[in-house]
Structure 1
Amino acid sequence: MSLRNKISLSNFFTGILVVFVLAMLFSPSFKGVVMQNLMKIGLFQPSIPDGPTVEVAAEINTATHNREILFKNMNDEVIELSDQKGKVVFINFWATWCPPCIAEMPTINKLYSSFRDNENVMFMMVDVDNDPIKSQKFMDKRKFDLPVYTPASPIPSSYMGGAIPTTLVLNKYGQVVFKHEGMGDFSNAEFKDFVNQLIEE
């Protein structure tokens, strides 16, 4: 191969690398797609607790005791979290501009599809930007069926300390039994079994 061809090939790969880096920096959707592919090879698996409760849950439940947490659905109805006792509640704090949120959303949608007709399970995709119209457009564009909510009261820092995505699962007694900060693959069989175990408790 001639020196000119080597330089041209080098310039080509350098150009591809620059485009990739720029896309990662400025396109949340592209970054989300890259992260989705990393999940497909087994990365970002959430750590499922062995038992019905975990240590962090005790701290969360103590910090939020007797403090009502409110959300609003797309019909402007206010939902009291304490009223959901008797159901397993899956809560995901997210935003439309957040690449890890975009990356994990298909896995949450797949999990939701497994439980959408189960009245003992509730899913809440909580838009931290409090922009329900933009969030619903995001869901519609990607053909996700996930129910969008917005905060209607202050969210305790023990629930969501500023990192998104943050995912919580509450058992039927209203206790937090799972908390995961950052992207996770919630479509795996182990997590589905975990939710089923909580339903049967």
Structure 2
Amino acid sequence: MSKQRFSLKNIPGWVIILAVFGLLYATGLHTEAIGQVQRLLLASGFKKADIPMAVETNTPVSFSSAISPLPAPKMVGTGFKITGLDGKTVNFETLKGKVIFLNVWATWCPPCVAEMPNIQSLYNKLYSNKIAFVMLSVDRGGMGKVKKYIEKKGYTFPVYLPHSNFPEEFQSPSIPTTYIISPEGKIVATQVGMAAYDTKEMREYLLQLAK
């Protein structure tokens, strides 16, 4: 009786696929692999960030002598503290007066990994003293893990970790989630899920908010 030679052709395709995914998970490369696929989808224009129809403007209001002006609106995230990769703690409310691009992400999240190069591109074009980028990591592995990841990728946008309890306003059912906050401290746009942010529409929207 002749022995049947072993051949990859005899292995079912689903077994090979499972083996590949198993290897990716075992080596921790699955996040990058899935992220790369989703990044290609973003590059194709598959998912652009949603832009509000119009930017709210502050219309001057006249008050009679018998009526007192309302107090200034309270900024979202008041009392919230964040820590940068340099170890310095920042009070979130000190960013009031700027347009804030707040992205909640994690190193283990494929959609987060997928949209980061696009956010870096947006940051390169728009970063100024009027627009603040806050890339807020919710990783539980500590600052060392996040810092290592950012340095490996060569990202230069500001990255932070929560230093105090997460504000209710920034809690979302999934990540990534991005919030656009006006100079007055109000959330004017929310994007749940990955998206392409470096678009003409988004750049114009942020610049208009920052005027």
Is the partner of 1:137 in helix, strand or coil? helix
- Label 1:86 to 1:66 Cα distance change in 2 as closer, same or farther (>3 A): closer
- Could you tell me which amino acid in structure 2 is paired with residue 147 of structure 1? P
CA distance in 1, matches of 2:33, 2:190: 27
CA drift of 1:72 comes to 1.2
- 1:51-200 matched pairs, under 5 angstroms: 51-52=54-55, 67-116=78-127, 118-130=128-140, 131-200=142-211
Q: Give the equivalent residue in structure 1 for 2:66.
A: none
Structure 1 range deviating more: 8-17 or 84-93: 8-17
**Structure 2 runs not aligned, ≥5 long:** 1-7, 57-72
Is the partner of 1:174 in helix, strand or coil? coil
- Could you tell me which amino acid in structure 2 is paired with residue 111 of structure 1? L
CA drift of 1:115 comes to 2.0
Structure with the largest fraction of helix: 1
Structure 1 range deviating more: 93-102 or 169-178: 169-178
What percentage of aligned pairs have identical amino acids?
28
**Structure 1 runs not aligned, ≥5 long:** 1-7, 54-61
Find out whether 1:36 has 2:39 as its counterpart.
Answer: yes
CA distances 1:54-88 after superposition (whole Å, capped 9, x unpaired): xxxxxxxx997684221111232221222112211
Q: Give the equivalent residue in structure 1 for 2:48.
A: 45
- Could you tell me which amino acid in structure 1 is paired with residue 172 of structure 2? G
CA distances 1:104-151 after superposition (whole Å, capped 9, x unpaired): 0001100010123x1111111111125222112111111111211011
Structure 1 range deviating more: 175-184 or 72-81: 72-81
| Ranges of 4+ aligned residues in structure 1 off by more than 3 Å | 8-26, 62-67
- Could you tell me which amino acid in structure 1 is paired with residue 186 of structure 2? Q
Is the partner of 1:158 in helix, strand or coil? helix
- Label 1:88 to 1:21 Cα distance change in 2 as closer, same or farther (>3 A): same
CA distance in 1, matches of 2:124, 2:51: 20
CA drift of 1:11 comes to 5.9
CA drift of 1:19 comes to 5.7
- Label 1:98 to 1:66 Cα distance change in 2 as closer, same or farther (>3 A): closer
Q: TM-score, normalised by structure 2?
A: 0.76
RMSD over aligned Cα, in angstroms?
2.7
Aligned residues: 185
CA drift of 1:21 comes to 5.5
